[in-house]
């Protein structure tokens, strides 16, 4: 019924699907997250174990299970492939666009909803981490948006609270501590915003209990069954240390998160023109009526923006995509600004309408270049992962010919080697350019740094290849050029 009444929903779904599904069939899955998560789900489906996850044969407790369960369903339904691995992320991304549409249209009209649903398609981190790549961020963002939507709707109809608690719980199951952002927004809004105080503390406690009921069983199960490993891996390394310390090799500058956030939203500068038009007559004809109509939802979105951005800034491990939750309220506010510019009545419409049209024209004009930049960056990530994926595929073929085996790689962990080989891989950190690998017969074999070898069941050791050499054959072209001067010259072109 809704789809028949609102054809823009179909159009938004198509546009979102085209943008977010572009390249999801492309091989290989990228180091590190994509190949890691795909291998976790591969081993889960192979072993029939969907609570005790493993990676490379070892227990894996670094991430909550929501994404893995979705990917497992995709693998079971469609078969295992790059496309099936990334499909749940793309579906969650399109779902996020639709919920943003409903959120904005409920308070500012259908035009505002359309713009709010389209604006995220200009954010690099939304396209990459929020929909196109196999990552834990798409379910986090989707369930967060659902929870905030349910909260804004519950102000006038408490039935919508049915969405809030479960969505908050699923957000926690998607990305752990980051999943508490929507629950924090719900708590602050209910306790501090006048428009939402009628919801009541009792309802807040109820929704918090529901969120806990949804999320807690998995965490309790892991704490009981995996004990020390759960606390050291998930709680300490993946949660506490990321909040309290730098995990990067080189700590980033203090304002990295704010700079990343501003870089993500700076292409929205044309929205300043319709915003200026709305503020031109504040005596009841422009901004004031708009703010009065939007005030309750706008306050929630501003709380959401502050909480999400503050959380990203507070985390000492600085990763660019940590700003992604803060981009969703920006899209909602931006969509409402554009929607208001096109729905003003005379005389304000005389200048708001052309200013809004100009803003849209500028955004559309800059979109192709922005999408090309995003696509080039994503392609570079895949190109950088191709050499190790090729070596993994070669190892798989050799193992098939010789009845199995195990791999040894002289270097840091490479998830693509594990995933594309389908074999257990020992990653040996060599202190010297060469080290010795002893086969089952006791004969030492010299292995160069970044070399991959396979040891079959009868003890025979065979070299698969060297990652540095494979990089020069199949890695990113500019990054494998022998001459730094030539590389710089090509980059300048």
Residue 333 lies in a domain: yes
Residue 139 lies in a domain: yes
Residue 168 CB-half CA count within 13 A? 26
Helices of type H across 155-234: 161-175, 180-192, 201-225, 227-230
In terms of phi and psi (left: phi > 0; alpha: psi -120 to 50; beta: otherwise), the region of 422 is left
Query: Do 321 and 228 fall into the same domain?
Result: yes
Query: Do 313 and 445 fall into the same domain?
Result: no
Mind listing the pLDDT tens digit for each residue in 421-451?
A: 999 998 877 555 455 665 545 566 667 788 8
Bridge-partner residues for 451, per DSSP? 466
Query: Do 22 and 132 fall into the same domain?
Result: yes
- For tokens 């929020």, the residue is 130
Q: Would you state the structure tokens that stand for residue 37, as one six-digit string?
A: 């998560």
Low-confidence residues of the chain: pLDDT under 50 = 1-3, 283-284, 286, 433, 440, 481-493
Helix (H) or strand (E) holding 454, with range, is strand 451-455
Query: Do 197 and 310 fall into the same domain?
Result: yes
Helix (H) or strand (E) holding 59, with range, is strand 58-59
Query: Do 312 and 445 fall into the same domain?
Result: no
- The confidence score (pLDDT) of residue 489 equals 38
- The confidence score (pLDDT) of residue 198 equals 83
Question: Which is nearest to 237 in space by CA: 194, 183, 177?
Answer: 177
- The confidence score (pLDDT) of residue 3 equals 45
- The confidence score (pLDDT) of residue 486 equals 34
Report the number of distinct structural domains present in the chain: 2
- The confidence score (pLDDT) of residue 277 equals 83
By three-state DSSP, how is residue 32 classified?
coil
Query: Do 11 and 120 fall into the same domain?
Result: yes
Domain boundary among 344, 368, 400: 344
Q: Would you state the structure tokens that stand for residue 354, as one six-digit string?
A: 């052309």
Question: Which is nearest to 142 in space by CA: 89, 183, 185?
Answer: 89
- The confidence score (pLDDT) of residue 83 equals 94
* Confidence (pTM): 0.90
Domain that holds residue 291: 2-344
Measured in whole angstroms, the distance separating CA 462 from the mean position of its chain's CA atoms is 39
- The confidence score (pLDDT) of residue 47 equals 92
Q: Would you state the structure tokens that stand for residue 219, as one six-digit string?
A: 């965490």
Query: Do 168 and 278 fall into the same domain?
Result: yes
Q: Would you state the structure tokens that stand for residue 302, as one six-digit string?
A: 């501003």
In terms of phi and psi (left: phi > 0; alpha: psi -120 to 50; beta: otherwise), the region of 247 is alpha
Q: Does the N-terminal peptide bond of residue 32 adopt cis geometry, omega within 30 degrees of 0?
A: yes
The answer to whether 353 and 273 are in contact (CB under 8 A) is no
């Amino acid at each position: 019924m809704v789809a028949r009444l609102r054809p823009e929903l179909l159009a938004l779904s198509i546009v979102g699907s085209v943008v977010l599904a572009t390249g999801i069939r492309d091989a290989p899955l990228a180091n590190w997250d994509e190949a890691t998560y795909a291998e976790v789900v591969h081993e889960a489906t192979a072993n029939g174990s969907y609570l005790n996850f493993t990676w490379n044969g070892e227990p894996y407790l670094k991430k909550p299970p929501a994404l893995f369960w979705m990917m497992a369903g995709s693998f079971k339904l469609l078969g295992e492939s790059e496309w099936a691995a990334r499909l749940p992320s793309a579906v969650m991304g399109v779902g996020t666009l639709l919920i943003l549409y409903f959120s904005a249209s409920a308070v500012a009209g259908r035009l505002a909803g359309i713009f709010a649903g389209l604006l995220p398609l200009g954010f690099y981190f939304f396209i990459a981490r929020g929909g196109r790549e196999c990552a834990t961020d798409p379910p986090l963002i989707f369930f967060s948006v659902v929870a905030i939507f349910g909260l804004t709707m519950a102000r006038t109809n408490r039935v919508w609270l049915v969405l809030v608690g479960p969505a908050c719980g699923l957000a926690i199951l998607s990305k752990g501590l980051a999943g508490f952002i929507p629950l924090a927004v719900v708590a602050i809004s209910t306790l501090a915003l006048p428009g939402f105080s009628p919801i009541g503390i009792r309802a807040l406690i109820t929704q918090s209990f529901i969120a806990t009921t949804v999320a807690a069983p998995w965490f309790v199960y892991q704490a009981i069954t995996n004990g020390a490993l759960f606390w050291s891996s998930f709680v300490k390394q993946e949660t506490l240390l990321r909040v309290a310390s730098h995990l990067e090799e080189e700590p980033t500058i203090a304002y990295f998160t704010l700079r990343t956030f501003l870089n993500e939203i700076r292409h929205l500068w044309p929205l300043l023109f319709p915003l200026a038009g709305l503020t031109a007559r504040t005596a009841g004809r422009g901004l004031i009526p708009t703010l009065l109509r939007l005030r309750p939802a706008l306050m929630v979105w501003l709380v959401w923006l502050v909480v999400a951005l503050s959380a990203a800034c507070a985390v000492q491990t600085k990763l660019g995509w940590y700003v992604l939750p803060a981009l969703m309220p920006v899209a909602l506010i931006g969509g409402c600004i554009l929607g208001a510019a096109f729905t003003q009545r005379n005389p304000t419409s005389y200048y708001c309408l052309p200013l809004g049209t100009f803003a849209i024209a500028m955004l559309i004009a800059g979109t192709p270049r922005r999408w090309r930049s995003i696509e080039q960056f994503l392609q570079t990530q895949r190109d950088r992962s191709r050499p190790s994926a090729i070596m993994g595929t070669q190892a798989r073929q050799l193992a098939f010919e010789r009845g199995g085996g195990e791999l040894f790689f002289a270097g840091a962990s490479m998830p693509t080697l594990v995933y594309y080989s389908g074999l257990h891989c020992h990653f040996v950190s060599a202190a010297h350019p060469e080290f010795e690998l002893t086969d089952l017969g006791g004969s030492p074999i010299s292995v160069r740094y970044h070399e991959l070898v396979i040891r079959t069941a009868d003890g025979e050791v065979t070299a698969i290849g060297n990652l540095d050499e494979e990089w020069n054959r199949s890695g990113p072209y500019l990054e494998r050029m022998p001459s730094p001067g030539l590389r710089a010259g090509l980059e300048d072109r």
